[in-house]
Amino acid sequence: MLWLLTVVTTGVLVVIVMFVKEIAKTPTAALSGSARTISASGAAHRVTPQSEPTSTVSGPRLTDSSSGLSYQLLSSPWQSGCPAVLNTSMVSWSAGEHAVAGQVTMGGSTFDWHGNACSGQLQQQFQYSGPADLEPTATNLVGALDPAYYNPLVHYRTVEDSSATQVSGHQAWMVKFLINYPDAGPEGLGWTSELGAVVVVDRGTGQAPAVFYVSVPANLGVSHVDALIGSLRLS
């Protein structure tokens, strides 16, 4: 009987041990499954950084039907209209905006000096046959505007950036430049530098490129230059 009792007892113990092991497996599997769910849930809610838009500026815009360009209209003291005095035999602007930066005194005369942002079509004086000409055209245009617009004041110009870009999917070239005024004090300027840029945009075969010109004296906020360029659209 003793040996029989021993066998029965041993069998019962084996069953109990197996039962305990089976119970022990259940919480472990549930916990593991829960951990995987939390991990998957965390991944699903992770925000992936996306490309920033060219410009997040909202508000009124200027539309130039001649060149097809549109861009931000800056708040006061900026106002719509490109000063007619900027039109020359080399450039003709069909839309734009401006703000008075201050007054300049030269030769006993005092006159207003403006920050400007203007657009128009590239004139025929600049030879252009396609996107391969974007860079030299933008560079030559800056060289032509320098004496026409800045020569009344003693100044020197340095190129800050010259690079390919796109405007609404159209190939373009931007030249950004800095104008420094070493005689700002004697000439009555309330600023010592001015940031400017020219953007030439290819509009396709048979169409003259669009041109955007911006120049902002430091006291008006040179950050407007990048904001305006970033807001450019071509229709």
Nearest-angstrom CA–CA distance, 232 and 65: 14
CB 66 within 8 A of CB 121: yes
Nearest-angstrom CA–CA distance, 75 and 10: 92
- For 139-188, the pLDDT digits (tens) are 999 999 999 999 989 999 999 999 999 999 999 999 999 999 999 998 99
Residue 189: give the domain boundaries.
61-234
Residues 103 and 174 in one domain: yes
Residues 6+ apart with CB under 8 A from 17: none
CATH number (domain holding residue 174)? 3.40.1000.10
Per-residue pLDDT at 48 exceeds 80: no
Per-residue pLDDT at 43 exceeds 80: no
Please give the model's pTM, rounded to 2 decimal places.
0.76
Per-residue pLDDT at 17 exceeds 50: no
Q: What integer pLDDT is reported at residue 3 of this predicted model?
A: 33
* 221 within domain boundaries: yes
Residues 8 and 107 in one domain: no
Residue type, 222: V
- For 189-208, the pLDDT digits (tens) are 999 999 999 999 999 999 99
What element of type H or E holds 129? Answer: none
Q: Which residues of 33-65 are buried (b: 16+ CB within 10 A; e: fewer)?
A: eeeeeeeeeeeeeeeeeeeeeebeeeeeebebe
Token pair 């020359």: residue: 88
Token pair 């030269």: residue: 106
Q: What integer pLDDT is reported at residue 84 of this predicted model?
A: 95
Residues 162 and 73 in one domain: yes
- For 117-146, the pLDDT digits (tens) are 999 999 999 989 999 999 999 999 999 999
* 157 within domain boundaries: yes
* 56 within domain boundaries: no
CB 98 within 8 A of CB 82: yes
Residues 101 and 126 in one domain: yes
Name the phi and psi angles at 31, rounded to 5.
-65, -40
- Reference 150, options 182, 173, 175, 119; nearest CA is 182
Residues 100 and 213 in one domain: yes
Query: What is residue 85's three-state secondary structure?
Result: helix
* 177 within domain boundaries: yes
Total number of domains constituting the chain: 2
- Reference 224, options 89, 74, 82; nearest CA is 74
Residues 40 and 82 in one domain: no
Residues 215 and 168 in one domain: yes
* 55 within domain boundaries: no
